[in-house]
Amino acid sequence: MLQITAEELNKFSNLNDKVRKVEVRAKDYLLQLEPLLQKQKNEGLIDDFEIVPRVSVFSYDEDYCKSENIELGDEIITEKEISYMLFGLPSDLFYLNGNEFKGSKNHPFKGLHFGYLMHCLVFHSQLDFDDFMHIDDVWLELEVRLQFFTDKTPFK
């Protein structure tokens, strides 16, 4: 069982809150953006579009970065190492508590609500507890890919 201090729990909890706020902000933006892009597609301004979320995790702790052989300012992990999807994620999954420790009797994180992104960071990445203690910033980028085709007929 993970043994942590009150200060470490507070730091992890604050990170969890910040990650959730940025995730909700991005999701709210997507809910406005997707209909606009769909309208442009229907009007023939674009042929199609994709929205791809990219996640990057950073530490600005010089000693930590050096110990992990990471250049200060570079990502600890990137989107290729995180299983994360925002566009097209059903609302029930987005708002579900993804904390797999919630049923535990003794785990220090049992009382925290993990959004989808925090769930992915905790349970589907290579990050360990020490890494989380050194995370200073998490970027959630939405890459919008507008597509224009020369031939709109399907392949036969």
- Whether residue 156 is contained in a domain is answered as no
Give the number of domains in the chain.
1
Report the pLDDT value the prediction gives residue 70, as an integer from 0 to 100: 94
- Whether residue 57 is contained in a domain is answered as yes
Report the pLDDT value the prediction gives residue 110, as an integer from 0 to 100: 93
Report the pLDDT value the prediction gives residue 74, as an integer from 0 to 100: 94
- Whether residue 28 is contained in a domain is answered as yes
d(CA 137, CA 5): 21
pLDDT level of residue 22 (50, 70, 90 thresholds): very high
Q: Are 35 and 23 in contact (CB under 8 A)?
A: no
- Whether residue 114 is contained in a domain is answered as yes
d(CA 88, CA 53): 11
- Whether residue 154 is contained in a domain is answered as no
Report the pLDDT value the prediction gives residue 154, as an integer from 0 to 100: 65
pLDDT digits (tens, 9 = 90+) for 76-119: 987 665 656 666 666 777 778 989 999 898 899 999 999 989 99
Q: Are 82 and 120 in contact (CB under 8 A)?
A: yes
Beta strands 48-58 and 137-147, pairing class: antiparallel
- Per the structure, the complete domain to which residue 29 belongs is given by 6-147
- Whether residue 153 is contained in a domain is answered as no
- Whether residue 155 is contained in a domain is answered as no
d(CA 131, CA 141): 21
* Cα distances (Å, whole numbers) of residue 133 to 14, 32, 112, 146: 11, 34, 16, 38
Backbone dihedral angles phi then psi of residue 75, each to the nearest 5 degrees: -70, 145
Residue whose structure tokens are 């043994």: 3
- Whether residue 71 is contained in a domain is answered as yes
Quote the pTM value.
0.85
pLDDT digits (tens, 9 = 90+) for 26-68: 888 988 999 999 999 999 999 999 988 889 999 999 999 999 9
